[in-house]
Structure 1
């Protein structure tokens, strides 16, 4: 069969699936996307402008670092980025302070990291090199970063994979897309349609079968789609639910060597930005860290939208697993009331709109994004190979520094499509 008459089914209409579909369809392949949700975007999910005053993101929100694929796509789409500005603050239970990036042991940490040749978990690394009481503050700060930012478990996370992030002290730029990630997804989906990609929404894939060189993809509702090749771009936890041919099943089992983290995200829109009306010296506050139930908050600064976003990442999110969205919103209000010393009732009265998502409870995500263990790079190298009729793609297979990001998903989709086209 000639390459251009090949029919490829892509499972998942998130960033990786859409990117791969556009690339393959542009090169003349017949492409069908099967998506379990009734929308595109996956873990990118905009909220209604009518409720929040702008297209708020209940999933992915920031563009991290250089992100060349993302930035190239945004230029194509005519979308612009707004760099994150402002100051970071901490609340220690009694007082606010500007977050100091500098730790007295930072030089020592960097020296040990530079000389590290053998990978080990973050917990083992800290135990081996920084066990003394004088390092308590630094250990706590590192563990908080690993759990909160990387949504990872320090007892399993790879030190080498996080080394670069620590060495630059988290100083790489962060930005938001003007119009949100949803605008980028709309652009990609429209480009796919213009190149003839067929979309089947509401189709959760249950099985992929191989017989006599042909593939059949079976949806939970009973539909069966025939094709020549399949690209699976679903979040890692969902791979366990899809029946696969033997060789693909053996590869998919390697996903257990890749970490996958949970995130709870809460958006609260108030009548006014009361947090800086009360404290003029904090008008440019961007991030706020504390030890409250919902430990991380950020503003829309420099935009003046009266919105606070709460964030809780990592294994300890399991403590709130039983809470429904309203329970999470209540936990967010309680945390803010304690941090700012205001009455919870007054915050609740001031609330205009709210949304909360525990991504671990989303049936088509079961978590937020991936992170590396010491065995991840090896697993990724095997999973990303184009050596069969079933291929794997997505943010969890990206071998660069920023796995777990939208950039990682886009780059992986592009790479997978490229491997097929080069064959």
Structure 2
């Protein structure tokens, strides 16, 4: 049995941040990663199937986020602005600007007077029922599904109210060369400081009843440590991928009180940038009600790659479709939005990739969102189990950057500081 001061389960952003911090502090660290690669929901591919520096997972730095930008600076990794123009497609027309939801001001007014938390779906049904408000209910639900990848009948009205009242229209960035460079920096620095990062190590069981955690992997290997950091996606934990002996009922119940969304991401590379025409030369994002409703370009880089995004219940309902089915949905959506023939777009397609994070057994979804009892649940999860088992992940972050790489890095850092 291999031993260390700390075992970290998961080599995503949160787990590697914990390993990076702990190894710098002189701790012996073993990181166990189920995949054959590091990074988790960060996965940058380069020169693969004609894609160069394509992000299959996390892609944007959503604002001037302190932990992320500090690490990028420390690693000497550059980043660029990603502030392309917002467009929307509605009633057969593509127009510049965000998609204004008629009646949004009424929703915000009602939310401002809400004194007990309910799901946003129930809130809409209670306050905007009937045929008169059907379009409004659908539009708000579509926004919650797309941006937060959340089920409207699970997502907290209080949390969404706070999000919408404090929306940051500030800077958006992309990491030059991809987020994978930041992941490599954390891993390489950790290894330089003595950490071991083991791939294809699928953790199945954690035994901790004798006062010292023991981790068992699917291939029968055992690892022991004084402390354990569990840095797996919430979706993986909630499907019971790891058995804890003895059970940790309070923490496992708390995990179920935080939402975890569904997402499918499409990357299409065409021969030409057909979306860069006339007024749309600086197009960054397009919102629509198509089968694949959200699209973005690589602006300001003039790349022939365009990315599609399907989130929330629509992604959950369609998660078992084949990649070819998603390809056809994407082509139909782009053809409608940009007034092209689907057959023409298929002929112009150079390469494509569908990333179904929802059916990925090592992710099981997208990222976290708040349910009605999530804040109380996080308080439980921030406390270690018997001072031995600590949790880390983007779902533990409370604030505007929830669900982001910043959230994952911050949580990993916080967990590590408790153990230094």
TM-score per shorter chain, which class? over 0.9
For the residues of structure 1 that align with 2:163 and 2:236, how far apart are their CA atoms? 28
TM-score of the aligned structures, taking structure 2 as reference length: 0.93
2:326 alignment partner in structure 1: 328
Spell out the pairing of 1:86-125 with structure 2 (5 A cutoff). Answer: 86-100=84-98, 105-125=103-123
For the residues of structure 1 that align with 2:202 and 2:19, how far apart are their CA atoms? 18
Q: 1:121 touches 1:373 (CA, 8 Å); kept in 2? A: yes
State the shift of 1:294 in Å: 0.8
- Compare the two structures and name the one with the higher helix fraction: 1
2:234 alignment partner in structure 1: 236
1:12 alignment partner in structure 2: 10
Q: 2:45 touches 2:56 (CA, 8 Å); kept in 1? A: yes
State the shift of 1:383 in Å: 0.9
Q: SS at the partner of 2:358? A: helix
2:182 aligned with 1:184: yes
State the shift of 1:214 in Å: 2.1
For the residues of structure 2 that align with 1:45 and 1:374, how far apart are their CA atoms? 31
For the residues of structure 2 that align with 1:328 and 1:47, how far apart are their CA atoms? 20
Q: 2:99 touches 2:287 (CA, 8 Å); kept in 1? A: no
- The counterpart of 1:142, out of the listed 122, 140, 165, is 140
Q: 2:32 touches 2:198 (CA, 8 Å); kept in 1? A: yes
For the residues of structure 2 that align with 1:223 and 1:271, how far apart are their CA atoms? 49
Residues 137 and 175 of structure 1, relative CA distance in 2, 3 Å threshold: farther
Q: 1:60 touches 1:406 (CA, 8 Å); kept in 2? A: yes
2:356 aligned with 1:361: no
Residues 251 and 375 of structure 1, relative CA distance in 2, 3 Å threshold: same
TM-score of the aligned structures, taking structure 1 as reference length: 0.92
State the shift of 1:38 in Å: 0.9
Equivalences, count: 415
Deviations 1:115-169 (A, max 9, x none): 4342221112223334466655543332111100100011110111122321245
Q: SS at the partner of 2:413? A: helix
2:317 alignment partner in structure 1: 319
Q: Bigger shift: 229-238 or 159-168?
A: 159-168
Deviations 1:73-103 (A, max 9, x none): 1111112222222322222242112234655
Q: 1:257 touches 1:376 (CA, 8 Å); kept in 2? A: yes
Spell out the pairing of 1:255-274 with structure 2 (5 A cutoff). Answer: 255-274=255-274
State the shift of 1:391 in Å: 1.2
Q: Bigger shift: 288-297 or 305-314?
A: 288-297
2:72 aligned with 1:59: no
Spell out the pairing of 1:334-353 with structure 2 (5 A cutoff). Answer: 334-353=332-351
State the shift of 1:52 in Å: 4.3
Residues 362 and 327 of structure 1, relative CA distance in 2, 3 Å threshold: same
For the residues of structure 2 that align with 1:332 and 1:341, how far apart are their CA atoms? 14
Spell out the pairing of 1:8-407 with structure 2 (5 A cutoff). Answer: 8-100=6-98, 105-131=103-129, 135-169=133-167, 171-239=169-237, 240-276=240-276, 279-388=277-386, 389-407=388-406
For the residues of structure 1 that align with 2:128 and 2:167, how far apart are their CA atoms? 17
For the residues of structure 1 that align with 2:398 and 2:332, how far apart are their CA atoms? 39
State the shift of 1:397 in Å: 1.2
2:418 alignment partner in structure 1: 419
Q: 2:209 touches 2:245 (CA, 8 Å); kept in 1? A: no
State the shift of 1:419 in Å: 1.4
Q: RMSD over aligned Cα, in angstroms? A: 2.0
Q: 2:9 touches 2:230 (CA, 8 Å); kept in 1? A: yes
Structure 1 gaps, min length 5: none
State the shift of 1:370 in Å: 1.0
Residues 86 and 211 of structure 1, relative CA distance in 2, 3 Å threshold: closer
For the residues of structure 1 that align with 2:102 and 2:322, how far apart are their CA atoms? 42
Structure 2 gaps, min length 5: none
State the shift of 1:323 in Å: 2.0
